[in-house]
Each structure stands twice: as C-alpha cells, then as structure tokens.
C-alpha cells in the first residue's frame, strides 16, 4: 500500500501499527504530488487524497486528514489545523497562538479532541478508519517528544502527548485508533 503523505512522522506511526502490510511512502515510489486539502471535513480531504494518489500510481492508497478540534471554539481549528495561521508557520507558532486564544478559558471550556480520519482506496473499495482522542488544551507547552499539537494536548492523566514515550503515545493517539479501526475493516473486506 501507498501512504499519501510526505510527513515522515505519520509514515513511522502508521508503519508501526500496520506491520502486516508493506507501506510505501510517496518518496519510495518517486511520486511528488501535493493534493489541495479544500474539503469541509476530514473525510473529504482524506478521500480526495487517497483517490488522487491511487489514480496517479495505481497502487492501493491510504490517506489521512487529522486535526485538533476545540469544543468551545466550535471545532476550530479543525480541517485548518495545520494552516490556520497561514503557510510557513511552525508548530511552535501554532501552539503559542492556541495557548493565547485559550487564556480566558478554564476547566471544561478547555476540552478538545484530536480526530483522525483515514481512508483506504484501491479503485473499488473505500474503507474508512476513524480515531478520536479526547483531552484539553494545556496552559503551556510541555514535553519534547512529539510534533504538531502534542505539547499542548493534555490527557486525562495530566500529561501532554509530548510527555509520553513513543510507545505510550502510539497506543492512545487518534491516528493509532484510526489505523487500528482501518486494519480491522481491511481484514474483513480485502
């Protein structure tokens, strides 16, 4: 299978979970393509990427779209998670911006969730895996083992995702849940 991403961290996480399958990256098959994520939902973006990459490569493809959704902000940043500050901004820039936005909130008003929607497409089958991880936005950046919003996403145990080991994070992450969900469905259908 081909994973429709250039994100090395996603590739590593998914390969660890889908150990029964050979997962190739876009780079592995010399494919340099960037699909515009202009859908209104995580599913729309994941499906669009999986279908577009499959049509170019003719290799069964998995694509994901995921993001952080903050309850009190009506799901913001949602599908714009990586781009809500515009292009060229770093994880630290985005984390600091969200910490600033959330300063006036406390308790349950800080509730958020990571959502990962994963779509497998092989020209015939469309199989979706979904993962949701509930938590809250921390008051500050904590931990150095992660990327994206891991250092500001606090779990019920009081730790951010970035304060967990890779093994700990891999068994609770939304991506882990989505890949596990997809893996079960793949075994039933393919």
User: Which residues are tagged catalytic?
Assistant: 65
What separation in angstroms does the CA of 46 have from each of 3, 67, 126, 128, 172?
A: 11, 12, 11, 9, 21
- Listing DSSP states for 94-130 in one string gives HHHHHHHHHTT--GGGGEEEEEEEEEEESSS-EEEEE
**Crossing angle for the helix pair 174-189 and 8-17, to the nearest 10 degrees:** 50
> SS3 for 17?
helix
Nearest to 132 by CA among 94, 88, 189, 75: 75
């Amino acid at each position: 299978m081909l994973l429709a991403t250039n994100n090395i961290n996603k590739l590593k996480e998914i390969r660890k979970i889908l150990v029964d399958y050979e997962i190739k990256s876009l780079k592995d098959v010399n494919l340099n393509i960037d699909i515009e994520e202009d859908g209104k939902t995580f599913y729309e973006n994941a499906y669009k990427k999986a279908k577009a990459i499959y049509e170019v490569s003719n290799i069964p493809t998995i694509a994901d779209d995921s993001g952080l959704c903050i309850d009190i902000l009506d799901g913001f940043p949602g599908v714009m998670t990586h781009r809500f500050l515009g292009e060229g901004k770093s994880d630290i820039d985005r984390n600091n911006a969200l910490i600033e936005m959330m300063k006036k909130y406390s308790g349950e008003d800080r509730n958020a969730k990571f959502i990962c929607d994963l779509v497998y497409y092989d020209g015939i089958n469309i199989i979706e895996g979904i993962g949701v991880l509930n938590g809250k936005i921390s008051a500050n950046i904590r931990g150095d083992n992660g990327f994206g919003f891991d250092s500001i996403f606090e779990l019920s145990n009081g730790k951010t995702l970035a304060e967990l080991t890779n093994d700990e994070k891999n068994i609770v992450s939304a991506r882990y849940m989505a890949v596990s969900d997809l893996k079960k469905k793949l075994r039933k259908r393919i």
